[in-house]
């Protein structure tokens, strides 16, 4: 019985290490991770591309009365529906795509270090 439990623990540990390694590799390559892709599928959010890179889905947010600026550097089928908060000189930290009303899908560029724009 102990051997069987040990085998299960080792198998689960190996899968965990493979998953974490894959996530880190994807972040290093500046690509959306497995977690953000599954989260995007669950939210039925579109896949967007800007600056030649696919952006990772973060969450669905309610903007409320805030004003967004039209994003003109987008690519792909959703390039006309991309917005951002003004104020970033070079590249926005987040891109928003309208969902319904004042709700927007929020995207960010995947980064290896967990801070954007530092």
**Average pLDDT over every residue of 65-88:** 86
- What tokens appear for 113 in the block? 């270090």
**Average pLDDT over every residue of 27-51:** 87
Q: Mind listing the pLDDT tens digit for each residue in 44-68?
A: 999 999 888 899 999 999 988 888 8
- What tokens appear for 69 in the block? 């600026």
Q: Cα–Cα distance between 82 and 99 in angstroms, integer?
A: 11
Eight-state DSSP code of residue 86: T
Give the E-state strand segments of the chain in sequence order: 49-50, 53-54, 56-62, 69-70, 74-75, 83-84, 94-100, 103-108
Using a cut of 0.85, tell me whether the model's pTM lies above it: no
**Average pLDDT over every residue of 62-83:** 88
């Amino acid at each position: 019985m102990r051997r069987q439990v040990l085998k299960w623990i080792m198998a689960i540990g190996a899968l965990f290490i493979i998953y974490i390694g894959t996530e880190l590799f994807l972040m290093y390559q500046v690509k959306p991770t497995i977690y953000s892709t599954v989260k995007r599928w669950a939210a039925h959010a579109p896949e967007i591309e800007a600056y030649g890179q696919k952006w990772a889905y973060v969450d669905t947010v309610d903007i409320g009365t805030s004003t967004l600026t039209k994003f003109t550097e987008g690519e792909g089928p959703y390039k006309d529906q991309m917005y951002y908060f003004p104020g970033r000189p070079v590249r926005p930290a987040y891109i928003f795509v309208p969902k319904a009303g004042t709700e927007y899908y929020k995207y960010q560029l995947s980064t290896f270090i967990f801070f954007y724009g530092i």
